[in-house]
């Protein structure tokens, strides 16, 4: 209501006139015709003060605001839409209108580029030239094509437009846990041992929707394959070490062997059947008490290569348990019956066994060829690291008992020292110490493979 008083002061009338002029200046943009009318009313007639006051308010206050808004709006429009700015395009300074897209600049400047290819998730070309038409860096930063082509310049950018990159087909992404594979390293040798435990890889697998191809995406956790190494034992310095081994016991001959070994001051290794250990635990204990080594030769001598996975596992675990029960020795070393153990058989072990010991010198004592022949078979072709195969159980061993002292004497005269399998393995610098001790176990962090690889 204070408007009513204000309108009567002359100065305010002058303001009203100015507004009228100002209004004309803005013109139709303001589009507020009743304002002019308000001035006429205020000059020439005297209706009630309330009505006149409203019109005065429009003329005096709202109109200047509208004028200001129009000026500001126009300026804003110019600043955001029409202002010329400078950008550097491929090293040359260019003046362009603010907000111009890079796509437009490329056209206006006639910048020639070669298109990339349209490719599968594995990178195979699905359509030559079907990729992005050009590539862009903005202020030296690579900018994805889809983002770059519609980028509107604001001024001052350094833009580089080059040949287009490849465009990848649409694909789906699946995060997978990939178990390790079981690999064999080396082909020939008397021993097989786990030289590397496996672990799981966690990664994205991308499947191309057009090609159907698969490719690895992000790797979140890099695992490793399980590796079984096959080799002969090579004692450091080519030291003349040799191991005597007796299979299929313990038996009624075990004590005779142990007496000869004791007399000669020599140690050997007995690969025992769990079944025979269970039947004669004191003979098994005597082996350990004599300082020789005891390892597994399965529970009851099946050909493990022809056994199912569960049988392989059971044969190993039950024989390891029999040995531990009889002697207190925890071993994870074994000799497969018939030397028959493959990459596939290893897969069945689930990591309960860590070293498989075969032989490179076969006495063929099971043929009962005579003690002399057993001696010559045992001592011919021996080299540092050799493993000699003889038998404890499985039949009459009189010829072996007769041959054993001569075998020891002959090889000792050639400078050989008889050691256990653990001592032999420990003499080879490439074999891990826990494997050599024949009681290694799979680390908790390791994962057993679920398939074999090449």
> How many C-beta atoms lie closer than 10 Å to residue 157's C-beta?
17
Backbone angles phi, psi at 392, to 5 degrees: -105, -55
The C-alpha atoms of residue 400 and residue 375 are separated, in whole angstroms, by: 9
Backbone angles phi, psi at 71, to 5 degrees: -65, -50
Residues sharing a CB contact under 8 Å with residue 442, sequence separation 6 or more, in sequence order: 197, 351, 352, 354, 448
Instruction: State which of positions 327-386 bind Zn ion (CB under 5 A).
Output: 337
The minimum distance between CB 185 and Zn ion, in angstroms, equals: 26
Stretch that binds Zn ion, among 46-54, 247-255, 305-313, 374-382 (CB under 5 A): 247-255
Binding-residue pattern over the window 196 to 235 for Zn ion, x denoting contact by CB under 5 A:
----------------------------------------
Query: Given the structure tokens 């034992």, which residue do they identify?
Result: 233
Which residue, 101 or 340, has its beta carbon nearer to Zn ion? 340
Nearest residue to Zn ion on Cβ basis: 247
The strand pair at 125-127 and 118-119 is best described as: antiparallel
The C-alpha atoms of residue 238 and residue 105 are separated, in whole angstroms, by: 75
The minimum distance between CB 304 and Zn ion, in angstroms, equals: 11
428 touching Zn ion, by CB under 5 A = no
379 token code pair: 């001592």
Instruction: State which of positions 2-31 bind Zn ion (CB under 5 A).
Output: none
Which residue, 148 or 244, has its beta carbon nearer to Zn ion? 244
Integer Rg of the chain from CA: 47
Which residue, 203 or 297, has its beta carbon nearer to Zn ion? 297
Of 450, 446, 422, residue with least CA distance to 348: 450
The minimum distance between CB 418 and Zn ion, in angstroms, equals: 21
Cβ atoms of residues 204 and 175 within 8 Å: yes
Q: Is 173 helix (H, G, I), strand (E, B) or coil?
A: strand
247 touching Zn ion, by CB under 5 A = yes
Instruction: State which of positions 29-68 bind Zn ion (CB under 5 A).
Output: none
Of 384, 318, 375, 380, residue with least CA distance to 352: 318
Which residue, 7 or 247, has its beta carbon nearer to Zn ion? 247
The minimum distance between CB 448 and Zn ion, in angstroms, equals: 26
Which residue, 247 or 360, has its beta carbon nearer to Zn ion? 247
400 touching Zn ion, by CB under 5 A = no
Which residue, 157 or 364, has its beta carbon nearer to Zn ion? 364
248 touching Zn ion, by CB under 5 A = yes
Positions touching Zn ion (CB under 5 A) are 247-248, 337
């Amino acid at each position: 209501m204070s408007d009513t008083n204000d309108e009567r002061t002359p100065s305010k009338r002058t303001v009203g006139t100015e507004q009228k002029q100002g209004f004309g200046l803005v013109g139709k943009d303001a589009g507020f015709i009743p304002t002019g009318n308000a001035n006429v009313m205020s000059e020439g007639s005297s209706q009630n003060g309330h009505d006149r006051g409203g019109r005065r308010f429009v003329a005096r206050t709202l109109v200047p605001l509208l004028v200001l808004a129009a000026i500001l709006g126009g300026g804003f429009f110019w600043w955001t839409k029409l202002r010329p700015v400078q950008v550097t395009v491929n090293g040359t300074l260019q003046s362009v209108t603010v907000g111009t897209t890079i796509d437009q600049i490329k056209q206006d400047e006639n910048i020639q580029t070669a298109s990339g290819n349209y490719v599968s998730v594995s990178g195979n070309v699905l359509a030559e030239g079907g990729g992005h038409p050009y590539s862009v860096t903005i202020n030296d930063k690579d900018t994805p094509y889809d983002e770059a082509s519609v980028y509107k310049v604001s001024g001052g950018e350094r833009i580089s437009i080059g040949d287009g990159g490849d465009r990848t087909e649409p694909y789906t992404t699946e995060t997978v846990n990939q178990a390790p594979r079981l690999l064999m390293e080396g082909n020939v040798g008397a021993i097989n041992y786990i030289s590397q435990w496996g672990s799981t890889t966690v990664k994205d697998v991308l499947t191309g929707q057009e090609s159907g191809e698969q490719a690895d995406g992000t790797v979140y956790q890099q695992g490793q394959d399980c590796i079984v190494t096959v080799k002969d034992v090579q004692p450091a310095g080519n030291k003349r070490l040799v191991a005597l081994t007796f299979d299929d016991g313990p038996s009624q001959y075990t004590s005779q062997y142990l007496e000869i070994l004791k007399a000669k001051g020599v140690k050997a290794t007995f690969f025992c059947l769990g079944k025979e250990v269970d039947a004669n635990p004191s003979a098994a204990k005597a082996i350990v008490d004599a300082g020789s080594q005891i390892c597994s030769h399965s529970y009851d001598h099946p050909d493990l290569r022809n056994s199912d996975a569960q049988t392989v596992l059971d044969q190993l675990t039950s024989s390891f348990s029999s040995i531990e029960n009889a002697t207190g020795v925890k071993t994870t070393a074994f000799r497969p019956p018939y030397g028959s153990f493959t990459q596939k058989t290893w897969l069945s072990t689930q990591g309960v066994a860590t070293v498989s010991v075969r032989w490179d010198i076969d006495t063929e004592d099971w043929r009962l060829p005579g003690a002399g022949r057993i001696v010559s078979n045992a001592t011919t072709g021996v080299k540092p690291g050799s493993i000699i195969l003889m038998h404890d159980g499985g039949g009459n061993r009189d010829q072996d008992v007769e041959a054993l002292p001569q075998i020891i004497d002959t090889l000792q005269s050639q400078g050989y020292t008889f050691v256990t399998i653990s001592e032999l393995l420990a003499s080879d610098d490439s074999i891990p110490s826990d494997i050599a001790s024949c009681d290694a176990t799979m680390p908790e962090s390791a994962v057993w493979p679920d398939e074999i690889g090449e």
